[in-house]
């Protein structure tokens, strides 16, 4: 069942020249773990705040299940939306124990003590905090405090959990272990989760689908592996994953399933859904360094990445990225083969028709 549905959603803050959100249409299924990914200022937090009910939309509608929570002339306040929120600042009460913090939202709602105790124990167990129930927040690590914030959000049994850069304040090692915690937590609870981050590693690792945002719009909303291997435009191709985006011109079909383009001064067989693509997204996996390759290139950089080297080469004036088992000398000439990269059509860019059409 669809849990969160956005239709034509827009938000323009007073005094701002540009809308923070500019026509969001998306549907998040019940139990999905969705990440909102994009550069600073693209509108991620605004979308989260509109979902929580902290802001009202300028246009459009938000539905939770079969209920409209924001739309023309209609607004459900945050406390009646049944969503839980976890911020990067944990916002814990310093004078309360861990159990006290987690129990607080239930106390405010007037739940009986026995029910409160049961739910708090359950939430602490789910977040691996049972043994810390009697500690004060000051006696916990950053990761443990973040888990208390998660437990406190869970205890209210929200229909959706909204997380705004929850790991931003943690160091790298702790982030990795908290990512595993979130994944395990999601598996156990089956909660619908909407997770804001500008860290693509985090988004691709955690989410079942990622909405890549830019300039108040969703550019692409897809599974991480689809974003990586089939980006829809230059922004997504450049923002997600490693590699290069180069312009291309269709040269004709080369068999029933494939297309050939002209790029980097040569013919390249590509994967594509377009008859007239304008660009290629060339991932490191698409580039083989081989003396038999038809394309000559010059090594511009070579860095060790644990188990392999990341090599940047200049091929026909474009910087391509490849992986190599051995270290290459900067300035050396190498041969390249490009293996079926993804070709797409950039919206708003006119595509040249194929120069040579070959029968399929």
Closest CA to 193 of 44, 283, 67, 83: 83
DSSP label of 280: E
Looking at the Cβ atoms of 195 and 309, the one nearer to ligand ATP is 195
Q: Which of residues 12-51 bind ligand ATP (CB under 6 A)?
A: 13, 16, 20, 38, 40-46
Looking at the Cβ atoms of 18 and 109, the one nearer to ligand ATP is 18
* Minimum gap (Å) between residue 112 Cβ and ligand ATP: 39
241: left (phi over 0), alpha (psi -120 to 50) or beta: left
* Minimum gap (Å) between residue 181 Cβ and ligand ATP: 22
Q: Which of residues 196-225 bind ligand ATP (CB under 6 A)?
A: 198
Looking at the Cβ atoms of 40 and 257, the one nearer to ligand ATP is 40
Looking at the Cβ atoms of 154 and 167, the one nearer to ligand ATP is 167
3-state SS class at 267: strand
Looking at the Cβ atoms of 16 and 257, the one nearer to ligand ATP is 16
Q: Which of residues 41-100 bind ligand ATP (CB under 6 A)?
A: 41-46
How many chain residues interact with ligand ATP (CB under 6 A)? 12
C-alpha radius of gyration, the chain, whole number: 25
The 10 Å Cβ neighbour count of residue 258 is: 14
* Minimum gap (Å) between residue 164 Cβ and ligand ATP: 8
Question: Angle at the Cα of 112 (from 111 to 115), degrees rounded to 5?
Answer: 90
Looking at the Cβ atoms of 38 and 137, the one nearer to ligand ATP is 38
Closest CA to 205 of 189, 234, 181: 181
Interaction of residue 5 with ligand ATP, rule CB under 6 A: no
Q: Which of residues 127-166 bind ligand ATP (CB under 6 A)?
A: none
* Minimum gap (Å) between residue 215 Cβ and ligand ATP: 9
What's the CA dihedral at 317, 318, 321, 325 to 10 degrees? -20
DSSP label of 252: E
N-term to C-term CA, the chain: 42
* Minimum gap (Å) between residue 13 Cβ and ligand ATP: 3
Tokens of 236: 């997504």
Looking at the Cβ atoms of 87 and 344, the one nearer to ligand ATP is 87
Evaluate whether 213 touches 43 at the Cβ level (below 8 Å): yes
Chain residues binding ligand ATP by CB under 6 A are 13, 16, 20, 38, 40-46, 198
């Amino acid at each position: 069942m669809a849990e969160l549905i956005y239709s034509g959603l827009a938000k323009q803050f007073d005094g701002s020249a540009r809308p923070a959100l500019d026509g969001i249409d998306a549907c998040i299924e019940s139990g999905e773990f969705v990440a909102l990914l994009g550069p600073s200022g693209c509108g991620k937090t605004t979308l989260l705040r509109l979902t929580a009910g902290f802001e009202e939309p300028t246009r459009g509608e938000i539905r939770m299940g079969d209920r409209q929570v924001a739309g023309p002339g209609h607004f459900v306040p945050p406390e009646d939306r049944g969503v839980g929120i976890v911020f990067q600042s944990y916002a814990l009460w310093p004078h309360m124990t861990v159990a006290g913090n987690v129990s607080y939202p239930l106390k405010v709602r007037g739940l009986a003590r026995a029910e409160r105790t049961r739910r708090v124990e359950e939430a602490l167990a789910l977040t691996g905090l049972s043994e810390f129930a009697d500690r004060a927040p000051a006696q916990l690590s950053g990761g443990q405090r973040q888990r208390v914030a998660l437990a406190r959000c869970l205890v209210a049994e929200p229909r959706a959990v909204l997380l705004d850069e929850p790991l931003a304040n943690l160091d790298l090692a702790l982030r990795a272990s908290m990512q595993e915690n979130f994944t395990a937590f999601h598996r156990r609870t089956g909660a619908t989760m909407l997770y804001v981050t500008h860290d693509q590693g985090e988004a691709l690792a955690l989410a079942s689908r990622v909405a890549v945002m830019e300039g108040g719009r969703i550019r692409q909303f897809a599974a991480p592996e689809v974003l990586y291997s089939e980006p829809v435009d230059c922004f997504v191709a450049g923002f997600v994953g490693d590699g290069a985006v180069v312009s291309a011109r269709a040269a004709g079909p080369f068999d029933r399933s494939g297309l050939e383009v002209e790029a980097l001064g040569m013919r390249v067989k590509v994967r594509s859904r377009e008859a007239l693509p304008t660009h290629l997204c060339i991932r490191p996996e698409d580039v083989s360094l081989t003396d038999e390759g038809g394309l000559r290139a010059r090594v511009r950089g070579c860095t060790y990445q644990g188990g392999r080297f990341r090599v940047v080469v200049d091929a026909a004036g474009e910087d391509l990225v490849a992986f190599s088992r051995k270290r290459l000398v900067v300035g050396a000439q190498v041969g390249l083969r490009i293996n079926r990269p993804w070709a797409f059509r950039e919206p708003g860019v006119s595509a040249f028709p194929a120069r040579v059409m070959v029968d399929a």
